Structure 1
Amino acid sequence: MSTQSLSAQPLPTRPRGADAASPSRIGPAQTVRHSLALAGRGVTKFMKSPIQLVDVVLTPIISLLMFVYLFGDAMSGGDTDRYLRLVVPGVMVMAVFQASIGIGASLCTDASTGIFDRFRSMPIARSSPLIGAVLADVVRYVLCLATVAVLALVMGYRVQTGPVAALTALALLVGFALSFSWISVYLGMLIKNPASVQGLMTVLILPLTFASNVFVPRDGMAGWLRAWSDVNPVSLVADAVRGLLNGGPVADSLFASSAWMAGVIVVFLPLAVRAYRKNAG
């Protein structure tokens, strides 16, 4: 089902004695198809308004240049190559995490236009507009990671493992952003002000990012901060990505970060769908 067909078809009417358009009658396969069609709508919006992608390009560039050339010598003792191996995977995690903020504000804006009322009138799964919006954001995450990768190569960073490990790292980073974006989606459905959604997500992201091992090794942290960093999802994903790109142990951090991602989805996806139903009701 294409985006055009969704927007072009007339409002459906429910036949008497049968609730054919009821979301409860829609199976998983149809939900996936509807979600992919609406994800195509989101990608089309990005293509028509590329200015929406500026932040996901500029933020990682500024962060990587700043931390390597302003703070790198102090943090690494002059060993820039060593610091690049530490900070590049960390900046990748930080960049996709920050990129996940935008979806909540975007959905909050959509809610004010009445588009959700249109979706509600269609015979599609209730969760499809949210899942489609989340899937469309993959474009933002891949562009963000491509920006970091190209800049890191120019600065001298080299992947020490093979293509399979590198692709696994990419999948992990995108999965991390997708899972935590459900927090932003929930706030976007709960709060009526897009700026407030961005502000609350920033309040969440900054402590998680800077109280992690993204920019400094855990050995240089105070005891209490090291204890938090060891269970911080940002640190766990950064450790897994470092292992996949630089070589080293991966299993423990990969398992722990996957558990965090699954937990966030289990908690916030149902909350987001419930808030969406109330918003569109």
Structure 2
Amino acid sequence: MPEGWAEKRVIISSDPAALAESVAPRFLSRVSKRIDEGKLAHISLTGGSMGAAVLAAAARNPRAARIDWSRVHFWWSDERFVPLGHADRNDRQAREAFLDGLEIPEENIHATLGSDDGAGLDDAATAYAEELARFPGAEGAWPSFDVCFLGVGPDGHIASLFPDRSEIQITDRAVVAVRDSPKPPPERITMTRPVINSSKRVWLVLAGADKAAALGLALAGASYASVPAAGAKGRKRTTFFVDQAAAAQVPPDLIDREY
């Protein structure tokens, strides 16, 4: 695991719509800066309503049209093991909200196998780990994501790493299969904590009063085994982008009013 993670900070917006509009230009700015430095950008996306809202806001931003997306690679921290194109898949959501409108090579969009691809769940997890390993970073056999987006569930889960389950403890693999998920659908594929925490920046985006308790526990230093969001840490920056309703239990000293 990387040492010396950045301190967690919280950025508060008034409501979910304002939250998406706040995160989207920061995302586009980060991608632009990386490309302007002559480097590839690797971005890990997430599902959920806020994940889609951020991408939709990015699609509406004029700056998106000025980015050379051929130098950007997109990944997903987790995926539901259902057929390709299924409404439950995170990659379908991202394509509809953002990716389908970009001039980007299809090979830069790294989706997991679907349940209709002929591979079982374990083989699909292995295949995604092998795909990650094609772009090794300094921290391991996977890219060091410039931005790793994460949602946070009311129970504190991130990706498909749920509280008090074995997957959150796995450190010797990049990707694992999840069975009997406490949130449907039951079969999923997820990156492990070492991959997430090798990211340069982890951006957790969450909205709603039902997330306030999980956010409060994550910021208070709860055990990552019981509150997985507490264990999500970027090497350069760890930022919780939240709306006012989700921020009810945020300590004032963690609120960043400048970033």
- TM-score, normalised to structure 1, is 0.24
TM-score (norm 2): 0.25
More strand by share: 2
Give 1 or 2: higher helix fraction.
1
